[in-house]
Structure 1
Amino acid sequence: MTMEELVESKLRFVFNDDNIRFDKSCFAGGLTNYNYIMNIKGNKYVIRQPGGMTELMIDRKVEKINNQIVSELGLNSECIYFDENSGIKISLYIENSKNIAQIGPGFLTNLKNVSDLLKKTHFSKKCFPNIFDWEIELIKYEKIIKKLNGCFFFDYDILKKQLLDFIKKNIKNSICVPCHNDTVPENFLVDDSGKAYLIDWEYSGMNDPSWDVAAYILESRLTQEEIHQFFIYYYGNFPIKDEILKIKAWMMAQDLLWTVWAMIRHYNGDDFLDYCNFRYERFKKNVKNIAISTDYSIADMVK
């Protein structure tokens, strides 16, 4: 049974209708997975079709638990079905909503919305059962590539060591709180009443909160002014030097981690080579520049 056929069978089971067809005509986006909007019996739903190799990269049982936790906190869209074996998920579509990438990730209202959602996540007393450790994830991804008989960039090991040395030298006072760990602007939604949501919690786990801050800056490519305002909203003031160094370190770590993630998708036959190359070239640039001066600016690192 293909994944499309499996999705269709789940739809028929959930809605108790053997005539339902998996309609992929309304694509709602996605990198790790592919999301489609369907109108079923008068209601709109977002149907998640898991992407290639995700069963090796994501623990869906943990995701299901974390998804329920954040739903109880009012952060997430409403999930009506979650298959922890396949990763297929069905959620209610949030009417008249747009993701923040569409309406401007650097707008003040969006920076405030993102900050509020992140703080609600990070200061939640409901802990996730798992830890997101980017180094462990990276090792897992590297093993998958080797099993696929893939190869790495010629300078991969050298640059990776430079990053690990930088982290060992500069990262201090890390803490572990509930984190989303994939805070791309596409994962933040705002409806027409102004209510904001944070969706897609498959990489969630306990982690340092500055990882989420760093990811939003990097993925949104915020300007210097936008970064400063984001800091004010999230921290209440401009963060101390140690916190800035953590953010810079996590930005480089994210480019490396998602480079290797994209390599897995590439070796699986998906069209991720350009995405992979872009992230690796930025990682290489930033590792080299940060070695020259730790004052290399965050705004320059997103470029």
Structure 2
Amino acid sequence: MTDDVESLLDQVPVLAGPRTVVDLPGGLTNRNVRVTTSTGDYVVRLTQSDAGLLGIDRDAEHANTRSAAEAGVGAQVVDYRPDLGMLVITFLPGGALTNETICGPGVIARAADAIRRLQAGPRFVNDFDMFTRQAGYLALVRQHGFALPDEYDAFAPQWDRVRRALAARPAVTVPCNNDLLAGNYIDDGEQVWLIDYEYSGNNDPAFELGNTATECDLAREQIDELVAAWAGEDPDPALRARVDAQSLCSEYGWALWGFIQSATSPLDFDFHGWGMERFEKAARRFTSDGFEVLLDRVAEPSPVELVEASDE
């Protein structure tokens, strides 16, 4: 462990004194370390990216992490030190999921339950909309001259059609993590927990499902299982189509995050390849024979969405 990290930990009373410190894997905008002391087991998230460039609001992340804990789906916040670029949370026992283990027996059902519990919890302090986020990222890419696939702008008309289709039946927004790659699910065998609230905000609940589906490379039958577990019944065509549309939104929007990171991050990671993987997924959806059918189905009434709206 480097001296600079140790000196930062020394400044937080709960972490001071004899301790063991171990780096945790993952984390492309944070360095995450596990700190064990005589008083507890903690995870320390240390900022290591340009949060402003990526649209990360650390104060909102802190507040929403607290709300997720209150909902019973996230770690407890122990300390927040924005002056040190540090958030301290309790360590959650269990293992981070992978694209393989999320498909294990009962895991998708536990993941869907975690999403529902988060969405039923206290509202977050901010909102998240991928169309707004994509527009901001694209403006930033153009402002700085960051590299972008030549074909990216060619799909602007299709992107606008997806926006209009979803807006025709606006969802009641709920707390969402918005970044549910497999590693942000922690499974202890009894329940699944959700971590990493950098991009959290109140959003269309279908985005959480669509984001999970594409980030975890779920097959169609596994997406059906996820949506059915979340809805408590077999998904109706409109809801199922909305999840697919939000998968596309996740792919096309978050691809820009990869291209921005490719141009700015000091980490030895293939951010361009990460962005291209998502962009190519979106391109296949935009050009598929089912794109028109998808837009039509998104506009159909969905009983599940109406129930959600009436509860609000």
TM bucket by the smaller chain?
A: 0.7 to 0.9
Match of 2:104 among 100, 107, 111: 107
Percent identity of equivalent pairs: 22
Query: CA, structure 1 residues 12+106, in 2 after alignment: closer, same or farther (shift >3 Å)?
Result: same
Query: CA, structure 1 residues 295+137, in 2 after alignment: closer, same or farther (shift >3 Å)?
Result: closer
Shift of 1:146: 3.2
Q: In structure 2, how many angstroms separate the alpha carbons of the residues matched to 1:293 and 1:165?
A: 10
Residue 207 of structure 2 contacts residue 243 of structure 2 at CA under 8 Å; is this kept in 1?
Answer: yes
Correspondence for 2:300: none
Query: CA, structure 1 residues 158+68, in 2 after alignment: closer, same or farther (shift >3 Å)?
Result: same
Query: CA, structure 1 residues 254+221, in 2 after alignment: closer, same or farther (shift >3 Å)?
Result: same
Residue 33 of structure 1 contacts residue 51 of structure 1 at CA under 8 Å; is this kept in 2?
Answer: yes
Match of 2:88 among 87, 90, 111: 90
Shift of 1:288: 0.7
Q: TM-score, normalised by structure 2?
A: 0.82
Q: In structure 1, how many angstroms separate the alpha carbons of the residues matched to 2:151 and 2:123?
A: 38
Shift of 1:172: 3.6
Secondary structure of the equivalent of 2:109? helix
Give CA-to-partner distance per residue, 1:152-177, whole Å, 9 cap, x none. 22122221321221331365422211
Correspondence for 1:279: 278
Residue 80 of structure 2 contacts residue 87 of structure 2 at CA under 8 Å; is this kept in 1?
Answer: yes
Q: In structure 2, how many angstroms separate the alpha carbons of the residues matched to 1:206 and 1:256?
A: 20
Shift of 1:140: 2.1
Residue 55 of structure 1 contacts residue 86 of structure 1 at CA under 8 Å; is this kept in 2?
Answer: no
Q: In structure 1, how many angstroms separate the alpha carbons of the residues matched to 2:32 and 2:58?
A: 16
The answer to whether 1:248 aligns with 2:244 is: yes
Q: In structure 2, how many angstroms separate the alpha carbons of the residues matched to 1:113 and 1:65?
A: 25
Secondary structure of the equivalent of 1:130? coil
Secondary structure of the equivalent of 1:137? helix
Shift of 1:291: 6.0
Correspondence for 1:117: 114
Q: In structure 1, how many angstroms separate the alpha carbons of the residues matched to 2:237 and 2:10?
A: 54
Residue 245 of structure 2 contacts residue 294 of structure 2 at CA under 8 Å; is this kept in 1?
Answer: no
Secondary structure of the equivalent of 1:105? helix
Shift of 1:27: 2.8
Unaligned 5+ segments in structure 2 are 296-312
The answer to whether 1:209 aligns with 2:205 is: yes
Q: TM-score, normalised by structure 1?
A: 0.84
Shift of 1:87: 4.1
Correspondence for 1:179: 176
Match of 1:260 among 256, 278, 285: 256
Shift of 1:289: 0.7
Correspondence for 2:214: 218
The answer to whether 1:55 aligns with 2:55 is: no
Residue 224 of structure 2 contacts residue 235 of structure 2 at CA under 8 Å; is this kept in 1?
Answer: no
Name the aligned partner's letter for residue 239 of structure 2: E
Correspondence for 1:299: none
Q: In structure 2, how many angstroms separate the alpha carbons of the residues matched to 1:189 and 1:16?
A: 24
The answer to whether 1:141 aligns with 2:141 is: no
Unaligned 5+ segments in structure 1 are 297-303
Shift of 1:8: 3.9
Query: CA, structure 1 residues 117+185, in 2 after alignment: closer, same or farther (shift >3 Å)?
Result: same
Deviates most, 242-251 or 280-289: 242-251
Q: In structure 2, how many angstroms separate the alpha carbons of the residues matched to 1:158 and 1:261?
A: 18
Shift of 1:50: 2.0
Correspondence for 1:79: 77
Shift of 1:58: 0.4
Residue 227 of structure 2 contacts residue 240 of structure 2 at CA under 8 Å; is this kept in 1?
Answer: no
Q: In structure 2, how many angstroms separate the alpha carbons of the residues matched to 1:143 and 1:136?
A: 11
